[in-house]
Amino acid sequence: MQAAYIVPATEWDNLTARLARLESAEAARQAPAPPPDDVLTTAQAAAYIGLSVDALLRARKDGRLPGVRLNDRDWGFRRSSLDKYPRRYARVTNPAS
């Protein structure tokens, strides 16, 4: 024989709401982490945004584009910062009149 418990409706609603919050928190905790941001080499980054390597390195040196040090000589650039760069620093071209 199984035992049966009589629970008031308000207490039942509180318990089911708490269970739902716990389940959603556990699902969020177990969700996969977002993929890491890609780091491109200087040549790859220049080709990605359509600049020369020299112009890209000048932008990094001037502080307009953050770079990531790969080793003693080479720099890398995060794809997310490259995606922001053309929109933020794009030159406005006036149509010929």
Better-predicted residue by pLDDT, 17 or 33: 17
Q: How confident is the model at residue 35 (pLDDT cuts 50, 70, 90)?
A: confident
pLDDT, residue 50, reads 86
pLDDT, residue 2, reads 87
Do 56 and 77 contact (CB within 8 A), yes or no?
yes
Each residue of 67-86: pLDDT tens digit? 999 898 899 999 989 888 86
Query: Which residue matches tokens 């040549």?
Result: 43
Which letter does DSSP use for residue 94 in this model?
P
pLDDT, residue 92, reads 58
Q: How confident is the model at residue 20 (pLDDT cuts 50, 70, 90)?
A: very high
